[in-house]
Amino acid sequence: MQIDRKICFPKDRKLRILQVSDPQDMHFVRRAMLKMLDAAYDTVQPDLVVFTGDNVHGNHLDENRLGMKTKDKALIAKRMAQALDYVLRPVQARQIPFCMIYGNHDDLNPLTKQEQADMYKNYSCFFGLNDAHPELDCDTYNVPIYGSDGEKIVYNLWMLDSAGKDDGTGKGYCYVKPEAIRWYQSESDTLKAANGGAPVPSLMFQHVPVPQITELFVQCEADDPDAVQWRGDDDLPYKLDPERAEGFAAEYPCVCDTDFGQLDAIRAQGDVCALVFGHDHANCFDTNLHGVRMIQTPGASFRSYGTPQSRGVRVFEIDEKDPWNFDTYILTYYDLLGKTMRTRMDYFMSADEFDVKRAVLFGATGAAALVAGGIAAAVHLLK
């Protein structure tokens, strides 16, 4: 167990955790996301921020103009430091403790996970990481949380790496590996023993959802308003089954089929209040599957895909007096900033789904300016 920084319930015994998933941006950032995150930190005033992967758009940091790629490691590292700083500086400036796990886009970064971890360590409010178990990824660890009196561990966060490639299928995203599940079982037993034999209530965060999450999706008609893009082997449309999950989905889950018995382990340990995912940016739901509560959090990124309904952050409110039951909700861009001319314009100027429209608009504006300039020059010459 690693304790770089002691996290305690606050004096009012209400712990607020803010989950920011998939901020996924570059060394030149989409400003609407920064405004959204600033508003989230000021509105929620969290005790802890958890970044749950795709923390930068890592696989694009080596791109130059016209699709050329650089191998200049120093240049990539400089871009990475800038991209990361856009995400972390607002949290650091507010002196909020924060921790993270990686996502598939972090794994695709030309910099290794450990090289990236060294950059996180430049921020004094950052804590976490696994330095004690070299057999595990550096972002597989746990965060023990002490009671408001600071004496005893009363809550816990499991942070599990799922960033990597599924070598069996070639998919560019992964799953929680068997050694991480074994470590979780062992560490959970240790926490339980120190807690007088009672499981310590925990949230378990990982980037990529478990494969069982696809069981929530049912076939539907192609013209069903809730039909989602299907990425599987058949051409049938699917939608989130409203009888099995509360929330919405705008995409079919991008998960691996591989299962190393994570849900069996969770049920046996009896300590996980909810398993929490990121990765599928446009999905947001809460469900109970195979006896485990599962929560899907949408993405914050404006550079990657998403919708006005999904772009946002998730809040967890945990009461020390009843930690097994907690409140959780999403705050979207418009929840946080309101719908005004300014916020709509900022959304349009940043969001990925308006990339083409912005290009057309600016292209037309540039062409109109050129024509106007040409006419003005001609008129001038004719005078």
Please identify the residue of the shown chain whose CB is closest to the bound Fe ion: 54
Stretch of residues binding Fe ion (CB under 5 A), selected from 49-57, 186-194, 231-239, 339-347? 49-57
Q: Which is nearer to Fe ion, 54 or 251 (CB)?
A: 54
- How many angstroms separate the CA atoms of 322 and 201, rounded? 10
Residues contacting residue 287 through CB under 8 Å, at least 6 positions apart: 216, 244, 245, 246, 247, 293, 294, 295
Q: Which is nearer to Fe ion, 98 or 305 (CB)?
A: 305
Q: Alpha-carbon dihedral of residues 49, 21, 26, 65, nearest 10 degrees?
A: 170
CB 110 within 8 A of CB 74: no
Using rule CB under 5 A, residue 139 touches Fe ion: no
Q: How far is the CB of 153 from Fe ion (least distance, A)?
A: 31
Q: How does DSSP classify residue 35?
A: H
For Fe ion (CB under 5 A), the number of binding residues is: 3
Q: Which is nearer to Fe ion, 22 or 346 (CB)?
A: 22
Instruction: For residue 42, give both structure tokens.
Output: 């000021």
Using rule CB under 5 A, residue 320 touches Fe ion: no
- How many angstroms separate the CA atoms of 15 and 46, rounded? 8
Stretch of residues binding Fe ion (CB under 5 A), selected from 18-26, 139-147, 170-178, 373-381? 18-26
Q: Which is nearer to Fe ion, 24 or 307 (CB)?
A: 24
Q: Which residue has the tokens 């790496």?
A: 161
Q: Is 328 helix (H, G, I), strand (E, B) or coil?
A: strand
Using rule CB under 5 A, residue 54 touches Fe ion: yes
Q: Which is nearer to Fe ion, 249 or 273 (CB)?
A: 249
Stretch of residues binding Fe ion (CB under 5 A), selected from 50-58, 73-81, 166-174, 243-251? 50-58
- Give me the DSSP letters along 93-138: HTT--EEEE--HHHHTSSS-HHHHHHHHTTSTTB----SS-TTS-T
Q: Which is nearer to Fe ion, 251 or 320 (CB)?
A: 251
Q: How far is the CB of 33 from Fe ion (least distance, A)?
A: 13
Position among 22, 62, 137, 161 found at the interface with Fe ion (CB under 5 A): 22
Stretch of residues binding Fe ion (CB under 5 A), selected from 23-31, 78-86, 357-365, 373-381? 23-31
Q: How far is the CB of 189 from Fe ion (least distance, A)?
A: 33
- How many angstroms separate the CA atoms of 57 and 134, rounded? 26
CA separation (Å) from 309 to 51, 166, 273, 333, 334?
A: 20, 30, 26, 8, 8
Q: Which is nearer to Fe ion, 106 or 320 (CB)?
A: 106
Which residues contact Fe ion by CB under 5 A? 22, 24, 54
